[in-house]
């Protein structure tokens, strides 16, 4: 119905509020707004706001109008309901038109190919799919909620390097959606530390189909582990953050290398054991200061874990 923002502007200009009808009626009868307010026992300001469309006609007001101007309350209630519905439709159309442009910032086709979102046609429908994907009502809410709060640190880091913030946000969000499907007990640090020893045996086994077992071992310790393929402009190895009281390790294995995969896993495990729950760690990003120190600490932990794996493997071979 509304194809351009000009259509939206015209619709807002021509829509008539119930107050227009009320103003026409009292003008026809020769009644002023002040007199109407007195007869209704309402402040003049309230009547003026109703006439301007700033205040809604409530059932109570509709009954008062019925007594004073002789027009049934149902007429005013229906007029108000239809007006508010039209306004909501115009607002929704504006949101979707804006989402159409907003959707162009995301790798929608790649997300669709991976089954993360579903839409037919162009970017307008892609915008609707993205709003559902991120569970937000509008693109400006997305910017404030995700860009300004949830992934704020990752966004700031992505702006300093080649990572695209919208691809990054999509990758992180998909990890959260995957994590929501995993039922885990409360996180237990001691259990997770013991689990890491079991996982070292998994590394040594050299099995190619290790991920389900890795995921289950971590799940029992209260840690969610998910595998999320990379998106264009967001070549990431992994991420660690806490969700609803449990740590989440998100891995990509973007180079299809077991060595890199395991290094990344132990690196992320270090963030869980050594660093703040409020931190969001995204590997492959540029860090500085305290963040860089934490990354170095996690690297050292991962190297020690892999070195331990090699030593255990050597002893087994002997």
What is the tens place of the pLDDT at every residue in 94-120? 877 877 788 899 999 999 999 999 998
Q: Distance between CA 111 and CA 23 in Å, rounded?
A: 52
pTM for this structure? 0.74
Half-sphere exposure of 138 toward its Cβ, with a 13 Å CA cutoff?
11
Residue 170, both tokens: 């999509």
**Confidence at residue 316, expressed as pLDDT on a 0 to 100 scale:** 47
Nearest to 268, CA basis, from 243, 294, 289: 294
Q: Distance between CA 22 and CA 268 in Å, rounded?
A: 65
Residue 116, both tokens: 């993360």
Nearest to 66, CA basis, from 87, 39, 33, 86: 39
Domain with CATH 1.10.260.40 in the chain: 5-102
Query: Can you list the residues of the chain whose pLDDT is less than 70?
Result: 1, 150, 153-162, 254-256, 284, 286-288, 312-318
Number of alpha helices (DSSP H) and beta strands (DSSP E) in the chain: 15, 4
- Tell me if the domain spanning 5-102 has CATH number 1.10.260.40: yes
Q: What does DSSP say about strands 224-227 and 246-251: parallel, antiparallel, or unpaired?
A: parallel
């Amino acid at each position: 119905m509304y194809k351009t923002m000009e259509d939206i502007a015209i619709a807002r200009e021509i829509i008539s509020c119930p107050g227009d009808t009320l103003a026409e009626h009292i003008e026809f009868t020769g009644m002023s707004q002040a007199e109407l307010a007195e007869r209704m026992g309402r402040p003049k300001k309230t009547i003026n706001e109703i006439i301007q469309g700033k205040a809604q006609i409530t059932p109570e007001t509709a009954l008062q109008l019925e007594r004073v101007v002789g027009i049934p309350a149902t007429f005013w209630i229906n007029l108000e309901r239809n007006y508010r519905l039209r306004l909501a439709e115009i607002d929704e159309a504006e949101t979707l038109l804006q989402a159409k442009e907003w959707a162009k910032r995301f790798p929608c086709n790649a997300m669709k190919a991976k089954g993360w979102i579903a839409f037919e046609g162009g970017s307008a429908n892609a915008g609707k799919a993205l709003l559902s994907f991120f569970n937000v009502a509008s693109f400006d809410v997305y910017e404030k909620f995700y860009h300004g709060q949830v992934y704020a640190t990752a966004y700031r880091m992505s702006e300093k390097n080649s990572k695209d913030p919208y691809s990054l946000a999509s990758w992180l969000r998909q990890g959260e959606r995957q994590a929501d499907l995993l039922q885990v007990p409360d996180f237990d640090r001691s259990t997770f530390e013991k689990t890491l020893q079991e996982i070292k045996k998994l590394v040594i086994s050299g099995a190619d189909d290790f991920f389900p077992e890795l995921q289950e071992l971590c799940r029992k310790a209260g840690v969610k582990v998910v595998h999320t393929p990379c998106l264009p402009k967001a070549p990431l190895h992994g991420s660690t953050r806490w969700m609803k009281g449990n740590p989440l390790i998100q891995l990509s294995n973007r180079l299809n290398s077991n060595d890199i995969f395991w290094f990344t896993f132990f690196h992320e495990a270090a963030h869980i054991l050594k660093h703040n729950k409020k931190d969001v760690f995204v590997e492959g990003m540029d860090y500085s200061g305290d963040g860089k120190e934490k990354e170095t600490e996690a690297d050292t932990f991962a190297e020690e874990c892999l070195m331990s794996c090699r030593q255990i493997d050597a002893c087994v071979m002997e």
